[in-house]
Chains A and B, each alone.
Chain A
Amino acid sequence: MNKGSGVGMGNLIRSEAQRVFKRKRTWAVAIVYIVFVLLECLFLTMMNTSFYDAEHSVALNSLNTAPFLLRELAILMNFVVIPMLAADSFGGDVSSGALRLALIRPISRGKLFLVKWLVLGMLVGGLTLFTWAAGTVFAGIAMPPASETTLMGAGAVGRMGALGFSLGFYGVALCVFLALIGVGGVVARLVPNPVLAYIGILAVIVGGLYVSDALVFLLSVSDSIFHFLGRTGGSDASLGWILCALLAGCAIIGTLGWQRREWNQ
């Protein structure tokens, strides 16, 4: 039988996606998150007010609500959804020994790491897109109508400006989530046990604060993105390049780590 020249990325992604979506925990985490999105919509309807940060509140309307929906949900994402998914995907199958079945095949282990990252990124990206869509639709239906609104740093904007701001906001949020998945991959490389990997990822989020103020975005995602997009200066001004460095660093460390590691589990 012809051994062929290599496994295509499409097949690697399909294989990883099957493993991720066959786990009950993946579905449980996604469903819980979606329920929280709907509850948060209800909560915003009752409050009609949200916050850029601890010092700046804002009255919500049909144009500015979508970014504020992610305010509490980003905490759920960073402290529950991503650590659980990353610990399962990067650590669970390694820890149980089942990933050996994939590791002995003629595939690049560096690519396997990147594919795991990509598949989790697509899942988290889907949840982020759902949050944006739910926030946009819900705001149009249930929040006070407005033809113009004021957004931090963007000034007064109309319908299209508000839509662009919310897309930019969710785009940066997705980059933060992708970076945290990458961090999860590196942490699980060091401690494959899923429980320890989960704790390790939380330790990085909290411990980041003690390393540098610039890493506060892992803890308070929406505050940092509002400050970054609003160009208010301070430690969040460096969010862009720190995210790029974090993504590149995790990609390099993770890929080399998976290529060179000893698989004793």
Chain B
Amino acid sequence: MENMQDKRAGRVVIPQTEHPLVEIGNVTKKVRRRTLLKDVSFNVEQGEICGLLGPNGAGKTTLIRVMTGLIRPDSGDVFIGGSSVVRQRENAAAHIGAIVESPIFFPYMTGRDNLENLALLHPNLPDRKARRKRVNEVLEIVRMDKRADEKVKTYSLGMKQRLGIAQALLGDPELLILDEPANGLDPMGIRELRELILRLKHEFGKTVLVSSHLLDELQKICDRIVVIREGERVFAGSREEMIGRHAGLEEAFVEMMTT
């Protein structure tokens, strides 16, 4: 879906649609006898930043793997842009850009080579000129254009995270799924990441689903929060609803985890 640029405000106007961009319906996933996800359901609307919260082992990465089609749910389904991830994975994948777990690249290539290689896998970038242009655009968005021609194995974790976001943006997807993008970043890196995510929402009209343990950061950027505990969704609502009577997201989260 095309996003329209509001020239007066310099921001993207998100067209109102009948259906949410992401619909997660009753997803259950078991591995051997262990239930990793149990009947998880929630929606993410177009243009939102949605925080996915939960303690270690709660099922966040499993849910992200299901959303990106890396694993199949035992029951339930995920619809992205109206396409089922289970039955129409390639259609659904065209709407998604993602970092799943840590940002791992082909280490024998430079940052630019990695992006140009992956750009070949997008139907909306059919010719070389379009691919080069898009690679330069995404490198500029994440401010990696000056280090793009160095081998990935020389990059710091922060640079790898930014390159991870660049590869996620390659196909100009409506939805970005970022799994623990702040892992290993120093305070400056975390701040830059926060600003980048907000820019992606406001300037480029992206919908972002971000999982993180950094509750302060999520409080600053998220419109909606989903909390998962032991594979079950225990909360889905606006940031304000989550915080409620508490002093902040952290207090609300701790209470939710301990009761």
User: Contact residues of B with A, CB < 8 Å?
Assistant: 2, 65, 68-72, 90-91, 93-96, 98, 100-102, 104-109, 113-114, 116-118, 120-124, 126, 167, 171-172
Shortest Cβ distance from B21 into chain A, in angstroms?
Answer: 14
Q: Note all chain B residues with C-beta closer than 8 A to A7.
A: 120-123
Q: Can you give 6 contacting A-B residue pairs, CB < 8 Å?
A: A3-B123, A12-B120, A101-B106, A105-B121, A107-B121, A262-B72
Known: A104-B93, A106-B90, A107-B90. A22 touches B109 (CB 8 A): yes
Q: Note all chain A residues with C-beta closer than 8 A to B167.
A: 101
CA distance A240 to B209 in the complex (A): 54
CA distance A105 to B104 in the complex (A): 15
Nearest B-chain residue to A24, judged by Cβ: B108
Q: Which of A3, A11, A100 contacts B104 (CB 8 A)?
A: A100
Known: A4-B126, A7-B122, A8-B126. A93 touches B100 (CB 8 A): no
Closest 6 CB pairs of A and B: A4-B123, A15-B120, A105-B121, A106-B93, A263-B70, A106-B94
A23 at the interface (CB under 8 A from B): yes
15 new A-B contacts, CB < 8 A, other than A3-B171, A23-B108, A104-B68, are A2-B124, A4-B124, A5-B123, A7-B122, A8-B126, A18-B117, A93-B106, A98-B104, A98-B105, A101-B118, A102-B121, A104-B100, A106-B94, A262-B71, A263-B65
CA distance A262 to B86 in the complex (A): 12
A238 at the interface (CB under 8 A from B): no
Q: Are B71 and A105 in contact (CB under 8 A)?
A: no
CA distance A239 to B205 in the complex (A): 59
Nearest A-chain residue to B168, judged by Cβ: A104
Known: A4-B123, A4-B126, A100-B100. A22 touches B90 (CB 8 A): no
Q: Are A6 and B123 in contact (CB under 8 A)?
A: yes
Q: Which of A1, A6, A100, A264 contacts B90 (CB 8 A)?
A: A6
Q: Is the interface of A mostly helix, strand, loop or mixed?
A: loop
Q: Which of B2, B70, B72, B117 contacts A19 (CB 8 A)?
A: B117
A153 at the interface (CB under 8 A from B): no
Q: Note all chain B residues with C-beta closer than 8 A to A5.
A: 123
Q: Are B122 and A105 in contact (CB under 8 A)?
A: yes
Q: Are A12 and B121 in contact (CB under 8 A)?
A: yes
Shortest Cβ distance from A4 into chain B, in angstroms?
Answer: 3
Q: Are B171 and A105 in contact (CB under 8 A)?
A: yes
Q: Which of B2, B102, B120 contacts A11 (CB 8 A)?
A: B120
Q: Are A106 and B122 in contact (CB under 8 A)?
A: yes
Q: Are B118 and A102 in contact (CB under 8 A)?
A: yes
Q: Are A19 and B71 in contact (CB under 8 A)?
A: no
Shortest Cβ distance from A113 into chain B, in angstroms?
Answer: 14
